[in-house]
Amino acid sequence: MSKLKYALYTGCTARESTPELLSSTLAVAKKLDIELVLLDEASCCGASHLQDFDEFLSLVLNARNICYAEKLGLPMVTICNTCQLNTVMTKERLDHDPEMRAKVNEKLAEVGLEYKGTSSVRHFLYALIDDYGLENIREKVEKPLSSLNIAPFYGCHNIRPSHIHYKHNMPQPDVEVSEGGGEVAYDTEELMSKYTHENPYVPTSLDRLIEALEGKPVEYESKNKCCGFHVDLQAPETSNALSGTALVDAIDNNADVMVTPCPLCQLNMDLKQDSAGKQLGRDIDLPVLHMPQMIALALGCSPAEIGLKYNVTKATELLDRV
Amino acid sequence: MSTQKEEMTQTKKVTLKAFRFNAETDYLPYYKTYEMEVGKDELILDLLNRIKWEHDGSFSYRRSCRHGICGACGIKVNGKAVLSCKQNAMELVELFGDELVFEPQSKKRAIKDMIIDKGDFWEKHAAVKPFVEADIDPHPKSESLMTPAQVEQFLDADYCIQCGSCHYACPVIEVNEDYLGPAAFAAAYRFTIDPRDEAGRERLETTAELGQGVWDCVKCFECAEACPKDVNPIEKITKLHNMQFEHHVAERNVATKHAEGFVRSINKFGYLDEQDIVLYSEGLGVVKHLSEAFKMIKAGKVHPFDFQKKKMPRSKNLNEIQKLIEISKTNEL
């Protein structure tokens, strides 16, 4: 296998309140000999909120982020579901809407950039599974997670809407996009094709990753549900009801720990266990790991790199359990 | 010829587990299992019919047009919203295996088997005035013409058949009884964007209200996934958000300041200032986040005394970002 190399779009959270996400991602890449080039020029993706305020501005800023991966000639990987969705929604729009692409490029030209559509954009989860391979990850496991029941929490923005995700998250051929983009092709596919890579009703990628690390995936109904993060300020009761229900569901199915590829889900589920528990009338105490933290744990990365001390719901004892 | 014949007769043994409940006589719902050979061209509606015709005449479900347009036959199969008359059964066997679970769109609203009380759906749908409201001449001299560009703006929102698939796939509907829901929002968009309509401002106000409006959407995309007509309701929700700002309907509140605050933050750092966005959006309401703030400080996740924002990351080439905001910004709060 030739060495894998990607442009890493970190998003904001990994550089601010979840430094453990960035350190564990870099540690996993180092262990697996994957080269990640940090896109330090990139801005916030808008997290779906900027999109509510000013859709056009969000397209321009996200296109700029992709431009920097294109300049490096590298495929982009993300480590946040919401970054992933907002970036591919921009890409999808610009690749299929020549008029909008021209409008965006007119703005980008003012700062000497041009969106070309030559870099693919995938979540790191799928780059690991489809490019590196689960069997190859399994071979690198130093500390099997066999003592842990791990509840996979997929996070909405990596599985829905499937008609966008399957095109971008699946292994990418070398992209050749003609001048002005291609044809509009929304929703013309057969039902099954959009579920072939990841079925949002029965997702399997995280389960398979947990198995490759020799952990026991927990089967529970809430694994593909919403955590409510995006209304946490204006509707905390909704957010608590959704995150609390998922956490309790995982606990009732004997989870020792939850894992998610989305730092926004992670923050909401990790930080708000007391308030969610209070609302639901249940004690909730379940460590919630970022996907790269779980992998780093199994690959025997250093405690500093795994960064469990940054998890709000105590997770440090996991180090002794593997 | 023979292979073609084989293909025609090809069937698969499938186990159907159907939700059964009669609100008049049953204390609790139960599931009943039916086994049948399913052909490759059979629809979910065919299987519902076969349960009724071959096994139990009391089995109840709504059906009418059989052409994917009346919106009556929506149910859930293994948790996935489907329009029974449009959904091939074998496709779902491929997706979920050979046990299919038939459930009503909302179990807690079940009246009999697949039939639910859809009253909340119709009430909320009606609340956004899902019709063109206009003071028009009843005897016009010519048709009211629309340009192709104006029709484009409907963005498929007029394909909605009010089947309820998105409404009952939406998690907010389950926890917030005031929330109008994705189908009502798609309708609000469809009639507000209609050039003949004059009730747009009223609809934007209705859908801007906290608790019932678009700001309570959790952005889970369940509605986009559920819609059998590819209406993509969340796309219309985003449009309504933007239109509230464009038409100056948006009032300053925690949700609108949160959305607008992203520009303020990105303009300063390129990144979102996670601490500032909460302070800025909440104002004095920030006190309710204190216990969580302390937990984050304790874990070393945030730096409350970093007044000069030294720990705050900054994007390289920030001047480009600032320039792009300056020349691309379209909305104000």
- Angle in degrees, 0-180, between the axes of helices A162-169 and A81-96, rounded to the nearest 10: 90
Same domain, B212 and B294: no
Q: Which amino acid is at A84?
A: Q
List, as one string, the DSSP characters of A4-47: PEEEEE-TTGGGTT-HHHHHHHHHHHHHTT-EEEE-TT-----T
Q: Give the residue among A77, A85, A87, A66 at the shortest CA–CA distance from A6.
A: A77
- Number of structural domains chain B divides into: 3
pLDDT at A188: 47
Q: What are the tokens at B204?
A: 């934007």
Q: Is the Cα dihedral B192, B193, B194, B195 positive or negative? A: positive
Same domain, B110 and B124: no
Q: What is the ipTM metric for this complex?
A: 0.94
Question: Does residue B1 have a pLDDT over 90?
Answer: no
Are A187 and B230 inside 8 Å of each other by CB?
yes
Q: How far is A2 from chain B (nearest CA, A)?
A: 30
Mean pLDDT of B40-69: 97
Query: Hunting for tokens 């072939």 — which residue is that?
Result: A196
Q: How far is B325 from chain A (nearest CA, A)?
A: 7
pLDDT at A154: 98
Name the pLDDT band for A196 (thresholds 50, 70, 90): confident
Q: How far apart are CA B178 and CA B175, in angstroms?
A: 9
Q: Residue B263: count other Cβ atoms within 10 Å of its Cβ.
A: 23
* Window B:92-131, CB contacts with A under 8 Å: 94-96
A9, A12, A153, A191: best to mutate for the B interface, most B CBs within 10 A: A12
pLDDT at B8: 57
Q: How far apart are CA A291 and CA A257, in angstroms?
A: 11
Q: Which amino acid is at A23?
A: S
Q: What are the tokens at A134?
A: 């689960």
Contact A319, A303 (CB under 8 A): yes
Q: Is the Cα dihedral A225, A227, A232, A235 positive or negative? A: positive
Q: What are the tokens at A231?
A: 């209304």
So where are chain A's domains? 5-321
What chain A residue is nearest to B217 in terms of C-alpha separation? A231
Mean pLDDT of B115-122: 98
pLDDT at A136: 97
pLDDT at B137: 86
B180, B216, B271: best to mutate for the A interface, most A CBs within 10 A: B271
Residues of chain B contacting A61 with CB distance shorter than 8 Å: 266, 321, 324-325
Are B218 and A242 inside 8 Å of each other by CB?
yes
pLDDT at B138: 85
Residues B181-192 have pLDDT tens digits of 999 999 999 999
**A111 vs B88, B96, B323: nearest CB:** B323
Name the pLDDT band for B10 (thresholds 50, 70, 90): confident
Same domain, B126 and B224: yes
- Indicate whether B3 belongs to any domain: no
CATH number, residue B95? 3.10.20.30
- Indicate whether B7 belongs to any domain: no
A13, A52, A85: best to mutate for the B interface, most B CBs within 10 A: A52
Q: Give the residue among A139, A103, A102 at the shortest CA–CA distance from A1.
A: A139
B218, B244, B298: best to mutate for the A interface, most A CBs within 10 A: B218
pLDDT at A173: 67
Residues of chain A contacting B225 with CB distance shorter than 8 Å: 160-162, 200
Mean pLDDT of A101-106: 98
Same domain, B262 and B223: no
Q: How far apart are CA B302 and CA B293, in angstroms?
A: 8
Q: Give the residue among A195, A192, A319, A185 at the shortest CA–CA distance from A257.
A: A319
Are A40 and B254 inside 8 Å of each other by CB?
no
Query: Hunting for tokens 């959904």 — which residue is that?
Result: B87
Per DSSP, B88 falls in state: B
Q: What are the tokens at A171?
A: 């292994």
Q: How far apart are CA A45 and CA A85, in angstroms?
A: 9
CATH number, residue B129? 1.10.1060.10
List, as one string, the DSSP characters of A252-274: HTT-SEEEES-HHHHHHHHH-HH
Are A60 and B315 inside 8 Å of each other by CB?
no
Question: Does residue A193 have a pLDDT over 90?
Answer: no
Q: Is the Cα dihedral A4, A9, A13, A17 positive or negative? A: positive
Contact A248, A280 (CB under 8 A): yes
B78, B180, B280, B317: best to mutate for the A interface, most A CBs within 10 A: B317
pLDDT at B299: 95
Q: How far is A1 from chain B (nearest CA, A)?
A: 32
Are A43 and B315 inside 8 Å of each other by CB?
yes
Size of interface A-B (CB pairs under 8 A): 207
> What are the residues facing A151 on neighbouring strands?
A258
Per DSSP, B57 falls in state: T
* Window B:243-282, CB contacts with A under 8 Å: 245, 253-256, 258-260, 262-263, 265-266, 270-272, 274, 278, 281-282
Q: How far apart are CA A235 and CA B178, in angstroms?
A: 12
Percent of chain B exceeding pLDDT 70 equals 97
Q: How far apart are CA A164 and CA B278, in angstroms?
A: 31
Domain A5-321 -> CATH class: alpha beta
Same domain, B112 and B40: yes
Residues of chain B contacting A277 with CB distance shorter than 8 Å: none
pLDDT at B112: 98
Chain-centre distance of CA B8, in angstroms?
38
Q: How far apart are CA A91 and CA A241, in angstroms?
A: 33
Q: How far is A98 from chain B (nearest CA, A)?
A: 15
Q: How far is B195 from chain A (nearest CA, A)?
A: 21
Q: What are the tokens at B63?
A: 């059906």
Q: How far apart are CA A101 and CA A79, in angstroms?
A: 26
Residues of chain A contacting B171 with CB distance shorter than 8 Å: 225-226, 228, 242
Mean pLDDT of A101-119: 98
What chain A residue is nearest to B220 in terms of C-alpha separation? A156
- Indicate whether B6 belongs to any domain: no
Residues B218-273 have pLDDT tens digits of 999 999 999 999 999 999 999 999 999 999 999 999 999 999 999 999 999 999 99
- Point out the domain boundary residue: B217, B246, B275: B246
Q: Is A274 at the interface with chain B, CB within 8 A?
A: yes
Name the pLDDT band for B144 (thresholds 50, 70, 90): confident
Residues B208, B209, B211: CA angle, nearest 5 degrees? 125
Chain-centre distance of CA A46, in angstroms?
15
Q: Is the Cα dihedral B221, B222, B225, B228 positive or negative? A: negative
Long-range contacts of B234-238 (CB under 8 A, 24+ apart): B234/A161, B234/B182, B235/B155, B236/B155, B236/B157, B236/B185, B236/B186, B236/B188, B236/B189, B236/B190, B237/B182, B237/B185, B237/B189, B238/A51, B238/A52, B238/A55
- Point out the domain boundary residue: B246, B264, B298: B246
Residues B158-171 have pLDDT tens digits of 999 999 999 999 99
Q: How far apart are CA B208 and CA B202, in angstroms?
A: 10
Residues of chain B contacting A54 with CB distance shorter than 8 Å: 242, 245, 263, 329-331
Q: How far is B15 from chain A (nearest CA, A)?
A: 18
Domain that holds residue B36: 12-116
What chain B residue is nearest to A190 in terms of C-alpha separation? B91
Chain-centre distance of CA A29, in angstroms?
15
Residues A29-73 have pLDDT tens digits of 999 999 999 999 999 999 999 999 999 999 999 999 999 999 999
Q: Is B297 at the interface with chain A, CB within 8 A?
A: no
Residues of chain A contacting B302 with CB distance shorter than 8 Å: 16-17
Residues in chain B: 333
pLDDT at B94: 92
Residues of chain A contacting B96 with CB distance shorter than 8 Å: 201-202
Residues of chain B contacting A308 with CB distance shorter than 8 Å: none
Same domain, B224 and B276: no
- Indicate whether B111 belongs to any domain: yes
